[in-house]
Amino acid sequence: MTIKGLSHVSIVVPDLDAAARELASKYGLKTGAIKVNAEQGVRMAYVDLGNAKIELMQPTSADSPSGKFLARNPKGGIHHFSLEVDDVADAASEWKNKGVNVIGDGAQKNVHGAPIAFVHPRDFLGALVEIEEH
């Protein structure tokens, strides 16, 4: 299993529309269409940087993972970064066999329908990592 590259960095924001306006006015960054991922409890949009993306996430539910993050960080902040792999289930299995705490096996899907899982922060230098199938 090989990590193919960085897919995106996810930032939880209290107001997605305001965040998009701020990125446009200060940095000239264009935010794409807003999508809803009901399974993860977020409204989200991407800023395409060419070689990676910034994923902006606004919780739609206070009890979702991003809602709980926002409760602890009211101004928002970096939630996780995402790495691309060929097969999430294979990567999750391989890493679990090495003692890595992988949350999920690819059954959960992102807003584009691609399989995802997460590596617990204690097993990746303190950072929450999403693995995403491409």
Catalytic positions, please?
Answer: 130
Selection from 10, 57, 12 nearest residue 37 by Cα: 57
The whole-angstrom separation of Cα 121 and Cα 101 is: 9
Instruction: Find the largest Cα–Cα distance for the chain.
Output: 47
Q: Residue 21 forms beta bridges with which residues?
A: none
Answer for the pair 19, 103: CB distance below 8 angstroms, yes or no.
no
